[in-house]
Structure 1
Amino acid sequence: MIVTKGPAVAVLPFTNPAKVVPLDAFADIMTQQVASSLGKFSTLRITPRALSANLSKEGNAIEAARKAGTDYLVTGEVRPMGDGARANIQVADLHSFTAGASS
């Protein structure tokens, strides 16, 4: 089913700020899982992965996402934690988000 109405959500590729190489694959999997899980909601339009990846390469992903017609921006990062890893996920409402404010 293709949804043509409803809020658009972009899931940016999760980052690995600690630069722990094994976490790169975990970051990719987490990005895919979040986008897939959100895609199960029939009222949401999920931005295609290629477009989301391009948004993250922009100098200001928030402004680029707004220009692309995105309503919500999901970002995340993975970090090592003990013998495993932890993922931090954030959602920004681009209609109310302002520079310098946290979501």
Structure 2
Amino acid sequence: MHSRPSSCAARPGGICQSAATRWSQDGNASQAQRLAFGRRLRALRTRAGLTQTAVAAGAGMDRSFYAEVEAAIHSVSVDRIPALARALGVEPYELFQETPSKPAE
């Protein structure tokens, strides 16, 4: 039977404190990334004057799933990025910019 290193402060369930902290931090980072991505999608969609239904249909996804991506409940796979970009009328890299660029006037 393997023993835990002495530097590992065991927590209930056998999870090391350092591992539990790391998983918690990773979860917080993932949630923050989902929130930022959802906000960018919403900003691009509203800038384009599109509804969630229109974007979802254009990207080949269910409207309720798309709404949950915008709300940071779900994330999308990398495979869906090109379809989302096309539906929003942008290049894929624009989905990951901090602030969507304004259209040229």
TM-score, normalized by the shorter chain, greater than 0.5: no
Give the number of the structure with larger relative contact order, counting CA–CA contacts within 8 Å between residues 6 or more apart: 1
Relative to the length of structure 2, the TM-score reads 0.30
Between structures 1 and 2, the one with greater helix share? 2
Based on CA coordinates, which of the two structures has the bigger radius of gyration? 2
TM-score (structure 1 length as normaliser)? 0.30
Task: Give 1 or 2: higher strand fraction.
Answer: 1
